[in-house]
Structure 1
Amino acid sequence: MPAPLNRFKAALKEGKMQYGCWASFADPYATEMLASAEFDWLVIDGEHAPNDLQTISQQVQVLQHEHSEAVVRIPIGRDWIIKQVLDTGCQTILVPLVETGEQAAELARAMRYPPQGNRGMGGAGARATRFGAIRDYVSTANDQVCLLVQVETVKGLENLDSILQVEGVDGVFIGPADLSADMGHPGDSGAPEVKEAIRDALGRINASDKAAGILAVDDTVAQQYAEWGAQFLAVGIDVLMLVSRARKTIARWRERD
């Protein structure tokens, strides 16, 4: 039995648009509810949400038979955490703050078993192999893992071409918030200079053999990003969805006083 098909990776290779959402509650029940909306992919956020390996693993489990594919954003690009997350059964990892082709190449190796990489071989007790039941996991897993790297600094943009040349990188995700801050416009990803940098980056990624990704919670901005070449597009953040609705609800009732 081979490793499970990574439907998200397959869709990117086919050039299909993939709509996603951030899952930031760090709770499997909330993530399962979000999956019922049938986003194509959900980001289990280990960088800015209160997730640890156990909560990540629980959320990967509840998404196993859902339409939404799990994309785990790890807090930092290190081989030990990549190994642990892959062993939960997650097949797609998003790595923040990637700035060079050399860094991207190291991450690509960490995602794969030898001889293509250096992922640890001890998967018999892991969920990824169904605890040893997937006999051909080690020989087939490399084809199903998907590496997404975040380019979100001026240095990252300067080295974008070298990052795009790295075999084993499947997609490049532009981080508008951090990029705008690094360009001297913190909190303003709509600044003309930042918008032009994003447009140029998405176009260059789209022209390569990698998929371009980005996040926008404003529909108009998201549509613009899609027109500029974004293929895996995050269009919401669950926490913001809840708090926005809650604030509008109480504001409506306060107006009645």
Structure 2
Amino acid sequence: MKNRTKELLREGKRVLGTWGMLGDPTTIELAGIAGLDFVLVDMEHTARDLPTIEHMARAADVVGLTLMVRVPDNDPKTILRVLETGVQGIVVPQLETGEDAARAVAAMRYPLNGDRGVCSITRASRYGALRPKFAEYVESADRELLLVGLIETAAGVENIDDILAAGVEVAFIGRRDLSGSLGVHGAAEHPMVLEAQERVLKAVAAHGRAWAGLVPYRKPGEEEWITHDVPFAVYRNDISLLLEAYQNGVRMLGRESASAHGQGGQR
């Protein structure tokens, strides 16, 4: 297996993706057609299930896009079952210690590099077609699967060096959750949040064998996107983009949106 996103990162190039909150494989195809490198499908905050993830993985293969999944928790069995659908990476929420990170790494890698259960007839291993060369598949999977750890609490920031040392490959800064952990809910631009973010970015740079990630943002009244030159950038999410497009269309046609009447709202 070849992970195009990981290959680009190894070459020192920036990759761009989006959060996939909707469960339609068509959205994955559209992301690939649009030129994105990857989609992070969310199983933590959505009702996505494993059959849906498997269909989305098929759609990603069609357009040469890297599909990764944010699992609901750092549970080895959950991670195993998601990996067997054939996705190319796992996003683990709320990593706070080196032990948390080591647990995720072990779940991602086969023995002797980890504890991942072995089955040669899943979609990930081409339903048994790779059995004659299963050892090669294992080596490839351990090398190509990408582990993204969400750094979204004060504890995660405090222990970032241990988290990176344990083998997390992308340290993704979740500024919204981080603001809550620091006691400034929703204030993603608060100096404490920005200071914590900078600490993570410096730790990743010093580590040298990992990449930093975040959601690029714009400050109020400014047009330029702030990326901090991170190589792993995630542009918004499918739900917000679709809602915004509909709202813009409603306004252009002289109608008020439903949210203006209290019938809905944008998170």
- TM-score, structure 1 normalization: 0.90
Q: 174-183 vs 247-256, which deviates more?
A: 247-256
Q: 69-78 vs 207-216, which deviates more?
A: 207-216
Q: 1:22 to 1:218 in 2, by over 3 A?
A: farther
SS of match in other structure, 2:127? coil
Q: 1:221 to 1:237 in 2, by over 3 A?
A: farther
Residues in 1 aligned to 2:64 and 2:110: alpha-carbon distance in whole angstroms: 27
Mapped contact 1:25–1:50 kept (Cα < 8 A): no
Code of the residue aligned with 1:89 in structure 2: it is G
Q: Out of 6, 11, 20, which is 2:17 matched to?
A: 20
The residue number in structure 2 matching 1:76 is 73
The residue number in structure 1 matching 2:239 is 239
Q: Which runs of 5+ in 2 are unaligned?
A: 257-267
Residues in 2 aligned to 1:187 and 1:221: alpha-carbon distance in whole angstroms: 21
Q: 184-193 vs 139-148, which deviates more?
A: 139-148
Residues in 1 aligned to 2:5 and 2:129: alpha-carbon distance in whole angstroms: 23
Code of the residue aligned with 1:56 in structure 2: it is I
Code of the residue aligned with 2:158 in structure 1: it is E
The residue number in structure 1 matching 2:185 is 186
Query: How far did residue 56 of structure 1 move?
Result: 0.9
Code of the residue aligned with 2:128 in structure 1: it is G
Code of the residue aligned with 2:166 in structure 1: it is V
Q: How many residues align?
A: 249
Percent identical: 34
Q: 55-64 vs 211-220, which deviates more?
A: 211-220
Matches within 5 A, 1:123-162: 124-134=120-130, 135-136=133-134, 137-162=137-162
- TM-score, structure 2 normalization: 0.87
- Post-superposition Cα deviations, 1:14-40, rounded to whole Å, max 9, x if no partner, equal 221011111111111222222211101
SS of match in other structure, 2:63? coil
Task: Tell me if 1:41 matches 2:38.
Answer: yes
Residues in 2 aligned to 1:28 and 1:234: alpha-carbon distance in whole angstroms: 19
Q: Alignment RMSD, CA only? A: 1.9
- Post-superposition Cα deviations, 1:118-173, rounded to whole Å, max 9, x if no partner, equal 11112x22001111112332343211221111110001101011111113x21111
Task: Tell me if 1:54 matches 2:40.
Answer: no
SS of match in other structure, 1:19? strand
Query: How far did residue 45 of structure 1 move?
Result: 1.1
SS of match in other structure, 2:118? coil
The residue number in structure 1 matching 2:205 is 206
Residues in 2 aligned to 1:245 and 1:223: alpha-carbon distance in whole angstroms: 19
Query: How far did residue 226 of structure 1 move?
Result: 2.9
Mapped contact 2:68–2:91 kept (Cα < 8 A): yes
Q: 1:176 to 1:143 in 2, by over 3 A?
A: same
SS of match in other structure, 2:140? helix
Residues in 1 aligned to 2:237 and 2:223: alpha-carbon distance in whole angstroms: 15
Residues in 2 aligned to 1:223 and 1:14: alpha-carbon distance in whole angstroms: 24
Mapped contact 2:97–2:163 kept (Cα < 8 A): yes
Q: 1:23 to 1:242 in 2, by over 3 A?
A: same
The residue number in structure 1 matching 2:175 is 176
Mapped contact 1:213–1:233 kept (Cα < 8 A): yes
